[in-house]
Structures are given as structure tokens and as C-alpha cells.
Chain A
Amino acid sequence: MAQPKLQLRIAQSPVLRYGLAVLSVSVALGGALLIERLQLRNITLFLFAIAVAAWYGGTGAAVLALLLSCISFAYFFVEPSHTLYISRSDIPYFILFALFAWLVSKFSSVRRRVEAELLAERTQQRSLLNLTHDSIFVRDMDFIISYWNLGAQELYGWAPEDAIGKHSRQLLQTVFPAPLEDVHAELLRTGRWEGELKRTTAQGTTVVVAARYALRRDEQARPVAILETSNDITERKRREREIEGLNEELAKRSMELEAINKELEAFAYSVSHDLRAPLRHMAGYTELLQKKASSTLDEKCSHYILMTLESAKRMGNLIDDLLAFSRIGRAETQKTLFSLTQLVREALTEVRDDTGGRNIAWKIGALPDFYGDRSMLRLVLVNLISNAIKFTRTRPQAEIEIGCADGNSSDLVVFVRDNGVGFDMKYVNKLFGVFQRLHDSDAFEGTGIGLATVQRIIHRHGGKVWAEGVVDSGATFYFSAPKT
């Protein structure tokens, strides 16, 4: 907004202000004494006429009033009377008229300009204030509303003509979050205040608004008005309450979950301790029996003992695998960036014993770096590779390929492919379940927990696992994971 060209300011210092009054009266007194002394003719009424014309009529009127004043003065008051003749000694009067007319019309035009600027400014401000969605109103220190924008009308329901002049607190039934004295104390101290107010609209509904007060002071720094900007947060408050409720619910759930986890941990611990002991005893005593009685037992009895021992051993493996599986779910993942190529190499070293000197054609493609828990990923690779080794056992020439498939831009996809016995796609959803097996344990040993472990680890990395297979033509296992 442009600055008014002339600033009508009142001097700040009281000395200047009151000095000006004393000075101007002194000048007037001097002038009056001078006029008295010189016994000049009274021209006050003419000057008054010129002033009125110039002030209200503008420059043209001032010129006309000046001319008429000059003519009248010359005709009636200048000797010789009733003529328009003027002597040299009368000229200062006409100069005085002209100067006065010029001065007053100058003042008048300045005043008009300032008025026009103020008006334009105010109109612009009001129309701008009506553009905003916020509700804005101004009230004086006695709560009487003096301005009310469109936003206020929309929010509270009263038109400006219904609101202006009313007591704002009574009109809006404002409920303050703090005692009113405190609000005003802060406002007077800092010039600002903000807080949430409860109000009732013209329609009788309650709204919650976030209000900001700004204090306006006059030239003497006395508080005169408060500008209040506010916006409707009723809906937001409702959502906040809703979110709070949901958060509480969530906290409760996560506490429950934590309790369940603790129980699960205690359960796993007890499985680890208490289930293994009797199993060990069964196996131990059976073996002692086998040793002591081997000479007196017939083939059938020896077979029974053997089966008992085998079962005990298998159950031991199942318990161990199940515990390992549950540990993966509970352990913290420690993520670092590491080379998959290096990890595959390590995994291959680890499973080398399982190959038993078989003829396996390895094809290891280029592998990227991986961001994740290294020891967990190692377990994934060991599981997938040893599976591939296991299920190609019947092949004279086993082929196992490890590589990186085209993923989308954010995920990378790694696969392990073999030309082993494969599987029927109809059972693909069973592959990754705990204790799920697609082959009988005579053909391919195992507890059925390896792929479940793989899936759990990959899920914990935010990735997916899937598989493709054709009976007797091999299988491919994929896992994906976010690149970072």
C-alpha cells in the first residue's frame, strides 16, 4: 500500500506540541498588534470569506473569492470610495488576500488528497480483509465491535450490520481458556495473545476457534482496540480427539502385544529347557537299553529301538529349528550395507559339505550390495542354496544359478534357481508355511522350517518371497527387498 504523500503527524514531544500552541498565538498577537498600530483597515471578514471558499470550494472558488474580495475592498474601503482606483499604499492588502487564498487552497488540496488516499486505503483494506477465509473483527476495550469482515460473517453467522456495535463477548458467548484478566494482562504486556476459544454462532452451534489478538494503541500509546483474527478448528479438534483415542487404543494394543511377546519368549525358553530334557532322557535310556540288551534282542526289537531313537533325534531337530525360527522373529535386525557376492561365497562355503562331491554346475551372476541384517541374510542364502542342493540330488548334472533379476526401481530381486525335482504350482502357497513339506521325509529330509525362516527374515526386511516351479523341471525361489 502506498504511503500517503503528506504525513499528518502530531509531534511526539509535549514540549513541541504545547510550544507550537504558544508560538502560533504569539505570532497572531504580534500580527494583531501590528494591525492595531498601523491602523489598518479591518479585512478579517474578507479573509474569512476567502478561507471558506477555498476550503470548501477548491481553487476556482478561491480565485473567484479573491477577485470579488479585491473588487469589493477597492470599491468600498479604498479611498476614493465607490471607484476601483487603488493607491500604491493599498497594494499590500491585495497581496495579503492573494497569499491567504493561496495558502488556504493549498491546505485544502492537501487535505483532500489525504482524505482520498485514506479512503482508498480503507476500501482496499476492507475488501482485502473480506477475501481472507479467516474471520477478522475489531472491538474496542469495552468489547464493542467496530469492524466485522466477511469471514466473521461466514463463521459466526451474523452480517456486519448485525454485529457492529454489539458487545462481542455477549454476542458470541465466548468461553476463554484462561481467566479474562490474564488474557488482557498478557495482551497489555506483549500486545498479543493467542488461544482457543469456544463460541456460539447465530445458528446456535458451538464452534472452537484458534484466535489471535493484536492490541492497537493510539498516539499516546493508550490501548484503544483489539483486532481479532480467528479460524474454525472445530473439525480439527474433533479429529485430534479421535486420533488421541486411536493412539490410546494403539498404546493399549502394543502393551498387550508386548505382554504376548514376553509370554512367547517365556514359552520358547521353557520349550528349549523343559522339552529337550525328557527327550534326551528317552534317547539316553533307549540307547543304554540298546547297548546292554543288543545280544538278546531279535531283529524286530532292535528295529523298534532304532525307530525310537530316530524319532527322538528328529524331535530334537524340530525343537531346535522351531526355537531358531522364533528367535528370528524376536531378534533385533542390525542393518548394514554389505556385498551379496561376498555373502553368497560364504554361504557356499558353509553348505559345501552337503554337496558330498556331487557334480554341480554353479552359475553365480552379478549381485548388488544389500542393505540389511547380514547374519539373517546369510541364513536366507544358506537355506535357499542348501534347498537347491538337496532337491537336485537326483540329477546326474545339477545346475544351480544365483542371480539378480530385474526388480522395479526401489526393490532388488535375488533368485536361486535349480534344475531339481521342482514342485507343483498348485501347492505354492504351502511352501513357506512352518512345518509344511511337499516331499516325504524318506526322499528329502528336513523339518519344513527352512523356507518359513526365509520368509520371516525377508518380511522383517520389508521384502517379499515367492517361488516358481514345475514338477521334475526345477524351481526358482525369489526374494525382494528395498534397496535402501
Chain B
Amino acid sequence: MESVNKLGRILLVEDDPKDVELTLTALEEYNLANEVIVARDGEEALEYLYSRGKFKTRSSGNPAVMLLDLKLPKVDGLEVLKQVKSEEKLRMIPIVVLTSSKEEKDMVASYKLGVSAYVVKPVDFHEFVNAIKELGVFWAVINEPPPGSVRK
């Protein structure tokens, strides 16, 4: 894909290794996987965003998009959302909630906290791959991220 050159960095926050694997596989299929950082829980996600803990020495810049699961160990997705949206430096990062839950209250809470999109992971793998691909292409390639985002 030609767009590889200006691919935005994706922060994938997902605790389930299988979901991580399947998501990465889906992204790989469209050559979108080379700039994906995986955080396994809410705390790791925040560590990455604030460049602390195991991400202390990471290269600077915000991700072009954060794909965020809601049900996470330690700090859950909604809490991560709350913190990011209340932080001046981070609040502009586009956040896509990527979750198994179709529950209305999760959806309402997420939108209230200012998410850019809410995607329910389809059970069907085809649809899942399509969804991930479209998300990757849109947010990492098509969308013009806010200033301060890393784009190769």
C-alpha cells in the first residue's frame, strides 16, 4: 500500500492476547501493523501516553489514534478515557472504543467522555478484519491527526 509512508502510529489498548493477535493480523493484512504499540491494560496505556514507566524512553509524540477496549485490568477503559480527556496535552488524540460490549450505558458513557467512534467487535472474523482495516486506514492514513501526532 502506498500510504505506508505516512502511516500514523496506532496505540492498541487490549488485554486479551488473542484479540491483540487477531487485531494485529487484521492490520498486517493491509500493511497497517508496523506502527502499532500495544498496551495490555489501562495503566500501561497511561504510561505510554505520559512517557513514564516502561515507556519512559519512548520517542515523543502522541499516537494518531488510540484503539481502546473498555474492559481492562487495573485501570479500565472509561477511566483511561476520563484521564486522557482531562489532560490538555492528550485530549486531542482521537480515541476509538473497540469493545465486545453493545451495552447502551457503555456507549453513552463513552460518547459523553468524548470518544471519536464506538465500534463493537464483530463476532464474524471477516467483518472483524474489515472493521479493523477500515479503522486503521481511516485513522492512521486518511484522517489528518491533530498537531503533535507521530506520523512516519
Asked whether any CB of chain A lies closer than 8 Å to the CB of B71, the reply is yes
Contact partner of A283 (CB less than 8 A), chosen from B101, B102, B123, is B123
A287 near B126 with CB under 8 A, answer: yes
Beyond A281-B22, A284-B128, A288-B25, whether A276 also contacts B103 by CB under 8 A is no
A272 near B101 with CB under 8 A, answer: yes
Task: Scan residues 55-83 of chain B and give those whose CB is less than 8 A from a CB of chain A.
Answer: 71
Q: In the docked arrangement, what's the CA distance between A313 and B127, Å?
A: 11
Asked whether any CB of chain B lies closer than 8 Å to the CB of A279, the reply is yes
Interfacial chain B residues near A284, Cβ < 8 Å: 18, 22, 25, 125, 128
Q: In the docked arrangement, what's the CA distance between A319 and B123, Å?
A: 10
B103 near A283 with CB under 8 A, answer: no
A272 near B126 with CB under 8 A, answer: no
**Closest CB in chain B relative to A228 CB, distance in Å:** 62
A280 near B121 with CB under 8 A, answer: yes
Q: In the docked arrangement, what's the CA distance between A396 and B86, Å?
A: 62
Interfacial chain B residues near A288, Cβ < 8 Å: 22, 25, 125
**Closest CB in chain B relative to A137 CB, distance in Å:** 66
Task: Scan residues 244-291 of chain A and give those whose CB is less than 8 A from a CB of chain B.
Answer: 268-269, 272-274, 276-277, 279-281, 283-288
Contact partner of B19 (CB less than 8 A), chosen from A274, A277, A316, is A277
B121 near A323 with CB under 8 A, answer: no
Asked whether any CB of chain B lies closer than 8 Å to the CB of A117, the reply is no
**Closest CB in chain B relative to A269 CB, distance in Å:** 6
**Closest CB in chain B relative to A371 CB, distance in Å:** 24
**Closest CB in chain A relative to B76 CB, distance in Å:** 11
Interface string of B88-100 (1 = CB under 8 A from A): 0000000000011
Asked whether any CB of chain B lies closer than 8 Å to the CB of A400, the reply is no
Asked whether any CB of chain B lies closer than 8 Å to the CB of A312, the reply is yes
Interfacial chain B residues near A309, Cβ < 8 Å: 125
B125 near A283 with CB under 8 A, answer: yes
B101 near A280 with CB under 8 A, answer: no
- Highest count of chain B CB atoms <10 Å: which of A276, A283, A284, A309: A284
Asked whether any CB of chain A lies closer than 8 Å to the CB of B144, the reply is no
B100 near A280 with CB under 8 A, answer: yes
Task: Supply 29 A–B pairs (Cβ within 8 Å), ascending by A.
Answer: A269-B101, A269-B103, A272-B103, A273-B71, A273-B99, A277-B18, A279-B123, A280-B100, A280-B121, A280-B125, A280-B128, A281-B16, A281-B22, A283-B123, A283-B125, A284-B18, A284-B22, A286-B125, A287-B125, A287-B126, A288-B25, A309-B125, A312-B123, A312-B124, A313-B123, A313-B124, A316-B123, A316-B124, A327-B104
Residues of B within 8 A of A (CB): 16, 18-19, 22, 25, 71, 99-104, 121-126, 128
Residues of A within 8 A of B (CB): 268-269, 272-274, 276-277, 279-281, 283-288, 309, 312-313, 315-316, 319-320, 323, 327
